[in-house]
Structure 1
């Protein structure tokens, strides 16, 4: 059993000097011959001092790296947490852990609210990014009153663990969370960040009963998707000849895949930042930038390993194979992973500024799985997407000011998301204003509305292209051939020459590890750097802001960044041209077995006869029960009917319903969700019949009818006075609710 995780985010190693990273102006004159050189001498003095201080920050980064590496469970959570379950003790052990996150001071948790479970990505970095800052996913959820849990992992995998083992362990984690919150309204909301998103979706497809709403920020699910001229990362596998390079890398690691290689892939997307801007920003502002730099590097440099089998499965099945979105993955016990089996709402949060998981890869699975809008509704699936205009990949789930509004609205409106009728929606957020109708019903600073969308809307974003799929299908088959050749001809030799010692030396020489070695105190020269940096902090002489050389410094830096950006653009365009020229070749496609007449080489999940029979049976049941139900069902049917004429489902209307529910009823959220879905389908299948049945569902008690009608009016008016078709539908419902009263009056007159 491991110790509970404890709070530690930006704390420096214990052996750091007490005033590390803090600088102050010189308190006395410093004899410096460079001062006689005027602005040049002033700038050179400052530049030399900054350089030494820069080296010292790199030394502190190395010390921090090794201090983190020495921990049993290194992480970057900014919250205290306690261990709940340790996957290393399971029958099929995995290096995953479930912890309960303790709320910070001043935050009150409501035990009746559904728990949130944040699952961090094991994509090269260590765990904790979902709780890295106070405004991150965990912080926002706790401020909304939700109990929170976190699923993290240790740096090294357990021997023999597989992706399926991890899925089963995460199922046990969710069962435990559900058991710990028997009175919670709804199943846990699960957030799968980045690469954890596909893992969460796979589990939800096989164990749908464990899930409440699923949020997948920056998660790739359709790996071939993208737009020509953009998204060059998707070409990497094909240009490398496929996944044989993954097998070679794992063999050189003696059966383990170093997560540092995955981090290098991310860094290669922006060479200007990796090779220059990141270090230049630290060097140029070393007096103030050190703590922020160290805080981020604590996570970015905390690399973790994967088993060779795990990484090979990920590359073959997902990155190169792209089998998840077309239900081609089958587990070892014969269960087909079909994302259409997910019964919880799925919320895809992506960004146009994300060069790791662009919107095409985050949303492409929707058009891969479904051909018609009715297919989504018939399957009872609810899909919501939100697209940010500019935020980068890490900002999607790190938190902070940029994505705070999205996380805040998702957390505070998670119950509304859970009861949305089946279909496809976009989350649209508008600022809350004092003059807004029903402003008191808006929980945060933004009002969220879930507007209906169609598959054509998603296709306009994803831009699917059959020719593009033929190219990637050819790359997939080339990958399979090359992997077979490597395993037959070269793998036995590589495995025979690699042992634990050689793999360790190769790891130390890796570009992701070597800088930590060079700037650590293991290098004797760094002790002198630390002492010199301490002296400089006592006699710091920063350059004046109007020094012309300081302005030239910025201009030179901008020029270097421009040059590196130009190199990146040339590299990316060249990669694309090479990939297209190779894999667009009809000869190559024919050689790997792709037939020229095929509209698409990729399997599309069809509608199986048993699924068709189930849907037809369900339709018949709903039609037979259109007139069943009482006042409650009639009221919800009326609200759904009026809402269908509006721009979407608004949080203000839902929050008004919360108030009404608290005043009158004992209906649970699950009961409300079930009734709402049945009434929605009744209107969808036979609108006229469903409306005509409303008077028969109403009681004779006129006061009860009028009370329900008042609740309907309050809910409709929560987003403003209805107009147009919404006003017409409200008037139609008012007549239907008065129909019973009129018949009563007619009966009395006849008597």
Structure 2
């Protein structure tokens, strides 16, 4: 028993050391690649940011899929943008079951925006935004026959950057999916999410400025990765390595695959990182439209007209749901304000997946991302409002299962700003503490720049910055053990011998159980220390920045809102008044399509949810109109406008239907009425209210068709053919 365990332990140690040797070699090979990335797909360069008027280290590539059919030119392209948050690019296409993979299999052309390890000198966050604009303009030009503007996926840091770009140029974007993207940085649940306290605990962003100066104008992304690792010390210092040791015969490929990404550290310009920390991490200005570009453009997320899909998880300790969804309650007080700005927001909260799992988990790629990609047109057509996406298994008992792609059915359910508020749990007292921390950060940064920065910059050289980079603890863990080490070859030879005579210990060996118990105890101890540390951090933050005297010195006090709400401005009131007048003028505008949409809204006004099967059936029924010239973008505008009219004045909007039908051919009116009946009866049995509403609509459409037929017969005795214009 003891001998078997001792032999097995020795073999595991040797094999573990050999895997770590391979990790070091892999790290060195990754460093010398021209364009280091972890994409699992071949790609062709389309555009490089180095050639732009404001050059950046970003680039646009088209994803190639030689094993899949050619993408459908009528489908909107997908553009996946990877986060530049310390690691290199490729996480959005890290595995076949990924954001890129599901988009390709759904028949969409797919592009990827990545970056080089080193930024262009002088590059700023705004420069990157302008590069993203140029990339999207290029994609749009390459797909003139697309059914819509590109769908854009932004992961983590790329999520908020894409939203900033969309607020600046909303005309370039189709549906936007932000996955694990922190946008409202002050938000969080009490007793959890300690990362949001980091800026305040360091006294503000002066430390960021110091790190940039010590890096000679560069900010080392390894520092960001180190912050992530500190969140879960048990995994960082024990579990990840122990899992490799305990499962050394099967775990090595997965471990090395992930480490290629995790060890690919990149740099930001110091000015980029300073902007991010001052305006987002500590200042939290994006979520309340306080950011203004150098050209004078206010980055107001309410300007985005594309649907925004927010995908987050309760298991994400880097971007918890309050930070992913808090911008909604920061910008909007109620649902009327969401509809006023014609904004569609769809959110989905996963129960347990971790931060990186949102982008790389095969299960998430097969389920959530698959349904988002295959139903992107459904999402694009949703009227303004807040919705929650629900994904359920497709079974043999699912009615009309052929109308839903894949193994799941996506449904979209109406929600309210109050529902989001229940998740985010905004707290004005907590916001006041963060506002105080932001003001103290400004003071400390000013003190550093005036009294310390000149001295620091005077002594820093490129050589000293390079030395700090090489001595970073995360890099040293990769640098110190590879084939350059004279002992590495001996380990490699011994590992080959071990693999040839590998003899794993029996699973029921009691010493193996003791080993696992020891590991569990270490993990529990580290978790306890983490919990104590996080509690102490939160309590210290509350004690310092909750101090009434410090708050008063920072301009914060009881009765004073920590941040101005965008909805209380004079411009907002003027927008509301002008929007109401415009809606009054549009009640009698339109024709058959507008009338049919109004009728559908009227029939289903008591339903809070719709799924992809009903949507796909509706599109089939409307196919003749699309063939006659109705464009999907035009139909989207019609759908959203009619929903807004129904919300504004339902009685007047419904009363105007006969006027709209009088502009259509009677046969087309009858076909539309038959389509309404088919859609209503296709799935769940209509409720009594829906049956009564359908009967009313059939009567209205029937009367209109008869009236039109009589008029046309009286004029010519012959009904003219329907055209796209009359429709």
Range class of TM-score, shorter chain: over 0.9
Q: Give 1:669's aligned residue.
A: 632
Match for residue 520 of structure 1 among 465, 482, 494:
482
Asked if 1:130 corresponds to 2:92, the answer is: yes
Equivalence for 1:620: 581
Is the Cα–Cα contact under 8 Å of residues 349 and 386 in structure 1 kept in the other structure? yes
Distance change in 2, residues 1:685/1:281 (3 Å): same
1: distance between equivalents of 2:43 and 2:169? 27
Partner of 1:251: 213
Q: CA deviation at 1:522?
A: 2.4
The more displaced of 260-269 and 694-703 is 694-703
Specify the SS of the correspondent of 2:594. helix
Superposed, 1:351-430 pairs within 5 Å as 351-430=313-392
Question: SS at 2:250's partner residue?
Answer: helix
Question: Which stretch of the first structure deviates more once superposed, 501-510 or 417-426?
Answer: 501-510
Contact (CA 8 Å) 2:167, 2:303: kept in 1 or not? yes
Q: CA RMSD in A?
A: 1.8
Counterpart residue number, 2:651: 688
Residue 46 of structure 2 aligns to a residue in which SS? strand
Give, in whole Å, the separation in 2 of the partners of 1:646 and 1:368.
Answer: 28
Aligned to 2:688: 724
5 Å matches for 1:643-658? 643-658=604-619
- Alpha-carbon separation, structure 2, partners of 1:646 and 1:597: 41
2:677 corresponds to which of 695, 713, 724: 713
* Cα drift, residue 534 of structure 1: 2.0
1:499 matched to 2:461: yes
Higher mean alpha-carbon deviation, 536-545 vs 97-106, is at 536-545
Contact 1:652 1:718 in 2 (8 A): no
Distance 1:559 1:728, change over 3 A: same
User: Structure 1 stretches of 5 or more lacking a match?
Assistant: 1-38
Aligned-pair distance for 1:248? 1.3
After superposition, residues 174-323 of structure 1 pair within 5 angstroms as 174-323=136-285
Return the offset for 1:476: 0.7
Determine if contact 2:84/2:157 at 8 Å carries over to the other structure.
Answer: yes
Contact 2:184-2:325 within 8 A present in 1 as well = yes
Q: CA deviation at 1:697?
A: 2.1
1:517 is displaced (CA, Å) by 1.6
Q: Report the counterpart of residue 445 of structure 2 in structure 1.
A: 483
Q: 1:732 to 1:43 in 2, by over 3 A?
A: same
Q: Which residue of 1 aligns with 2:720?
A: none
Determine the structure 1 residue equivalent to 2:719. none
Contact 2:99-2:365 within 8 A present in 1 as well: no
Q: What residue is the counterpart of 2:562 in the other structure?
A: 601
SS for the counterpart of 1:512 is helix
| In structure 1, C-alpha distance between the alignment counterparts of 2:32 and 2:708, rounded to whole Å | 80
Distance of 1:345 and 1:144 partners within structure 2 = 19
Note the C-alpha offset of 1:553.
0.7
2:495 paired residue number: 533
Counterpart check, 1:42 vs 2:4? yes
Deviations 1:171-199 (A, max 9, x none): 00000000000000000000000000110
Segment of structure 1 superposing worse, 396-405 or 509-518? 396-405
Asked if the contact 1:254/1:498 (under 8 Å) is kept, the reply is: yes
Is 1:588 the counterpart of 2:550? The answer is yes
Change (3 A) 1:745 1:236: closer
Q: Which deviates more, 454-463 or 691-700? A: 691-700
Contact 1:650 1:719 in 2 (8 A): no
| Alpha-carbon displacement from aligned partner over 1:496-524 (angstroms, at most 9, x marks no partner) | 22212112221122111011121122222
- Are 1:395 and 1:403, in contact at CA under 8 Å, matched by a contact in 2? no
**Pair 225,717 (structure 1): closer, same or farther in 2 beyond 3 Å:** same
Distance (whole Å) between structure 2 residues aligned to residue 594 and residue 399 of structure 1: 43
Q: Tell whether 2:107 aligns with 1:171.
A: no
The alignment status of 1:575 with 2:544, answered yes or no, reads no
Segment drifting more, 196-205 vs 502-511: 502-511
Q: Is the 8 A contact 1:438 1:720 kept in 2?
A: no
Contact 2:68 2:105 in 1 (8 A): no
Residue 484 of structure 1 and its aligned partner are, at CA, apart by 1.4
State which of 52, 62, 80 in structure 1 corresponds to 2:42. 80
How far apart are the structure 2 equivalents of 1:248 and 1:380?
Answer: 43
Q: Which 5+ residue runs of structure 2 have no aligned equivalent?
A: 715-727
Q: Which residue of 2 aligns with 1:31?
A: none
SS of equivalent residue, structure 2 residue 409: strand
Tell me how far apart the structure 2 counterparts of residues 684 and 99 of structure 1 sit (CA, whole Å): 43
Query: Aligned ranges for residues 691-702 of structure 1 at < 5 Å?
Result: 691-699=654-662, 701-702=665-666
Q: Does the CA contact (< 8 Å) of 2:548 and 2:557 recur in 1? A: no
Which residue in the other structure is 1:737 paired with?
701
| Shift, 1:201, TM fit | 0.3
| In 2: Cα distance, 1:628 partner to 1:501 partner | 70
- Any conservation in 1 of the 2:332–2:567 contact (CA below 8 Å)? no
| Match of residue 593 from structure 2 | 632
Superimposed CA distance per residue, residues 48-89 of structure 1 (whole angstroms, 9 cap, x where no aligned partner): 121111111111101101101101110000000000001012
The count of corresponding residues between Structure 1 and Structure 2 is 710
How big is the shift at 1:608? 4.5
Q: Deviations over 1:193-228 (max 9, x none)?
A: 000011000000010000000000100000000011
The residue that corresponds to 2:64 in the other structure is 102
Contact 1:103 1:109 in 2 (8 A): no
